[in-house]
Every structure is written in structure tokens, then in C-alpha cells.
């Protein structure tokens, strides 16, 4: 009797399994620094993608019988690690596209892998123009480029800050040196004198020899092309040496962690950013409220751009006739006036964004305040 009951139960379960709906998976990659001193940028990108994917799944299956999943990988803002992570994504046929990388040096290193895999890559923050000049037809970005940002930063320094004598520092990375070189070229063209241009190394801690040299030159302004950990140290050590020059940085220091690290010495520092103040945009209000409610913290500078990148990919997957990489890539490339939280995004033939506004922020009372457009 027991054996007959057991057989009956097995038959019922088998019938239930036959009738059950099997859910397939479509994956989107997300790569950035999840550990290390730039982890806040990578986590911010991941948080944005999680919101976008969860919203898409909550609305129903993006295609019948499938749901979206995220594959999150840590490139440690290291180009070699970025290549290894790109290869892992390329090896998984379920990954149709990727949001990332955060750093320009990592995007540049990983781009050939995605090119060979015919996988769309959208970066929310890799702003070095050299990436799109390489001819990768799989690379896109939702941010502006440094050949737009740096000249406008120079214009702001020369016109608004009246800088006539300038010293330039970069961190020798693809991003840092790229934006610093573009800034120097434009500030010279405008008529300012460049007293010197030197590079530092990411992870370096003691800048006193360089800053002592700069103090002796008495520049009106110091421009820093690099990221916030070194930027904060430079500002703190400059103040301790009595160096009173005005500081201006690129978007690499437009991170709340810069203020946390530099403390009171951050006051008065200017920086440019690849966009306007999203806090004032009605189109971004719902996203910002969702981000804060879910993660209990303020979003980082590239968060909204990562959210738009994710939604462009999701929209491309939805529209693609075949759910494979080439079809999704074609839809990403065809993006025209996508209504994102930072505005209407289109991609040109090089994959660069149509959004070109460069904003200026200044640290006031331990917070970044929007000053306005770098160039009206």
C-alpha cells in the first residue's frame, strides 16, 4: 500500500513539473572597482544596475519565459584585471551586454575583448576620448568626453577664476593624463602661462617635494587630473605647507569621499563634471528617491549615468529580434533620444553620447554645490 501511495505521489509531482513554466535567464554584465580605494564608484554603478534590472523584472518578463540577472565582477580599477573580467563575461553566452567599466584605462584595455565577442559595452564614466577613437563599434558611453570637459574647465579657470599662472598635475592614468593634457593645451591657447606639468602615481602618499616646488612658483591655480584619493591628499598636504593656490579638478574628484578624506581642506575646491546637477532635474527625482530609500545613502556622481546605460541595454534587449549579442548591439547602436534621467541620449558613430554639458561644482560647507555650466 505504501509503495502504491509513493508511486502516486511521484506521478503527481511529475505532472506538476511538466506543467511548470521554466524561466530562462538573460544576463547583463557589470564591471568596476568593487574593492580598493575606488570601490565606492564601482558599487554605485552596481546599485544603479540593480535598480534598473529589478524595475524591469517587476514589470513582467522582458521577453516571454525569461528574466534578467546581473553578473557583477571586480576589476579593481586595474587594466590587467579588467581584461580578465571581460574575458569571463565574453565566455558566458547568456551575457548579452555590459555596463562598465568605470575607469577609462580599464575600458580601453577591455574594449577589444567585447569587440571580438560582439558585445555592447556602455560606460557611464570612462571619459577619455581615445577609447572611441580606436574604432571599437561595441563601445558606447552615456557621459561626455574629456576633450569636451577639459577645454571647458580651462575656459572656466581663465574666464571665471582669472587664472593667469597655472600648474598642472596628473596621475599618469589614461583618464588623468588625458584630461590634464587637454586642459593644458586649452589654457595655453587662452593665454595663461603653464608653470609646469608633473605626474604622480596612484597609491602615492607623500607629495610634499612636489608641492614645495609648486609653492615656490606661486601659481594662481593648480589643476589636478586624477582620482579623489590622491586629490584629497594633495589638497591636505598643500594646505599644511601654506600653499594658497586655488584648486580645480576634473570629475575624478567629484565624489563625496573626496570631502570625507580632505576634510576642512576641501573647502573652496572646484571641479568640473560630465553633466549638470542631477539633483535639480525633475527627470531624475524618482530615481534618486528610489536609490536613497533602497541603499540608505546618497548616490555617487555617475549613478544616474549608469542607470541610463542599464536601461538603454534593457530597451535594446526588449527590441532585439533575436536575443543574442549582435542583435542587442545593433539596437544599442540605433539608440536615438532615449529618455533617461539625465536627458535624451543618442549615440554618434563613435559611440559617444549626445549630452555634452559640463557642470562646475565647488565644495561649500562640506558639500558639493552646483555653480553652473563651465561655459555658457
| 8 A C-beta contact, residue 81 and residue 101 | no
Read off the pLDDT of residues 154-172 as tens digits, 9 standing for 90 and up.
999 999 999 999 999 999 9
Q: How far is CA 370 from CA 35, 151, 230, 258, 373, in A?
A: 29, 19, 23, 16, 9
Do the beta carbons of residue 102 and residue 38 sit within 8 Å?
yes
Q: What is the pTM of this model?
A: 0.88
Residue 274's pLDDT is 87
pLDDT tens digit at each of 376 positions of the chain: 445 444 444 444 443 443 445 678 999 999 999 999 899 999 999 999 999 999 999 988 777 788 999 999 999 999 999 999 999 999 999 999 999 999 999 999 999 999 999 999 999 999 999 999 999 999 999 999 999 999 999 999 999 999 999 999 999 999 999 999 999 999 999 999 999 999 999 999 999 999 999 999 999 999 999 999 999 999 999 999 999 999 999 999 999 999 999 999 999 999 999 888 888 889 999 999 999 999 987 678 899 999 999 999 999 999 998 889 999 999 999 999 999 999 999 999 999 999 889 999 999 999 999 999 998 7
Q: What is the pLDDT of residue 79?
A: 97
Q: 278 is written with which cell numbers?
A: 542631477
Give the integer Cα–Cα distance in Å for 270 and 278.
18
- For position 62, what pLDDT does the model report? 75
The reported pLDDT for the residue numbered 3 is 53
C-alpha separations of 174 from 43, 106, 252 in Å = 21, 9, 12
Length of the chain: 376
At 165-224, the pLDDT tens digits run: 999 999 999 999 999 999 999 999 999 999 999 999 999 999 999 999 999 999 999 999
pLDDT at 193: 98
Residues 6+ apart with CB under 8 A from 257: 40, 228, 229, 232
Domains delineated in the chain: 24-144+280-345 (3.40.50.2300), 147-273+359-373 (3.40.50.2300)
CA–CA distances in Å: residue 196 to residues 4, 186, 189, 190, 240: 89, 15, 15, 16, 21
Peptide bond into 171 cis (omega under 30): no
pLDDT at 2: 47
Q: What is the pLDDT of residue 21?
A: 52
Amino acid at each position: 500500500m505504501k509503495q502504491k501511495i509513493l508511486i502516486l505521489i511521484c506521478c503527481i509531482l511529475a505532472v506538476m513539473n511538466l506543467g511548470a513554466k521554466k524561466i530562462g535567464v538573460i544576463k547583463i554584465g557589470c564591471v568596476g572597482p568593487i574593492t580598493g580605494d575606488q570601490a565606492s564608484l564601482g558599487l554605485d554603478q552596481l546599485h544603479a544596475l540593480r535598480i534598473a534590472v529589478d524595475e524591469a523584472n517587476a514589470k513582467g518578463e522582458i521577453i516571454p519565459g525569461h528574466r534578467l540577472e546581473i553578473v557583477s565582477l571586480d576589476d579593481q580599477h586595474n587594466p590587467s584585471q579588467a581584461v580578465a573580467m571581460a574575458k569571463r563575461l565574453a565566455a558566458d553566452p547568456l551575457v548579452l551586454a555590459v555596463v562598465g567599466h568605470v575607469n577609462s584605462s580599464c575600458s580601453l584595455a577591455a574594449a577589444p575583448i567585447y569587440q571580438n565577442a560582439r558585445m555592447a559595452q556602455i560606460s557611464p564614466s570612462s571619459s577619455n576620448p581615445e577609447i572611441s577613437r580606436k574604432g571599437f563599434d561595441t563601445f558606447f558611453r552615456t557621459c561626455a568626453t574629456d576633450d569636451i570637459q577639459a577645454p571647458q574647465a580651462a575656459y572656466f579657470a581663465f574666464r571665471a577664476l582669472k587664472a593667469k599662472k597655472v600648474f598642472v598635475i596628473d596621475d599618469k592614468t589614461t583618464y588623468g593624463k588625458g584630461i590634464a593634457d587637454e586642459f593644458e593645451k586649452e589654457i595655453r591657447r587662452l593665454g595663461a602661462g603653464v608653470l609646469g606639468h608633473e605626474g604622480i602615481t596612484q597609491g602615492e602618499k607623500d607629495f610634499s617635494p612636489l608641492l614645495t616646488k609648486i609653492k615656490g612658483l606661486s601659481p594662481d591655480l593648480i589643476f589636478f587630473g586624477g582620482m579623489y584619493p590622491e586629490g584629497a591628499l594633495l589638497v591636505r598636504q598643500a594646505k599644511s605647507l601654506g600653499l594658497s593656490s586655488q584648486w580645480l579638478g576634473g570629475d575624478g574628484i567629484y565624489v563625496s569621499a573626496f570631502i570625507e578624506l580632505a576634510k576642512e581642506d576641501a573647502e573652496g575646491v572646484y571641479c568640473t563634471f560630465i553633466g549638470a546637477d542631477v539633483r535639480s532635474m525633475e527627470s531624475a527625482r524618482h530615481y534618486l528617491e528610489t536609490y536613497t530609500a533602497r541603499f540608505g545613502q546618497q548616490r555617487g556622481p555617475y549613478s544616474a549615468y549608469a542607470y541610463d546605460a542599464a536601461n538603454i541595454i534593457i530597451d535594446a534587449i526588449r527590441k532585439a529580434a533575436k536575443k543574442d549579442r549582435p542583435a542587442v548591439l545593433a539596437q544599442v547602436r540605433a539608440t536615438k533620444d532615449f529618455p533617461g534621467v539625465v536627458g535624451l541620449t543618442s549615440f554618434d558613430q563613435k559611440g559617444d553620447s549626445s549630452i555634452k554639458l559640463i557642470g562646475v561644482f565647488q565644495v561649500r560647507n562640506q558639500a558639493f554645490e552646483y555653480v553652473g555650466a563651465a561655459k555658457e
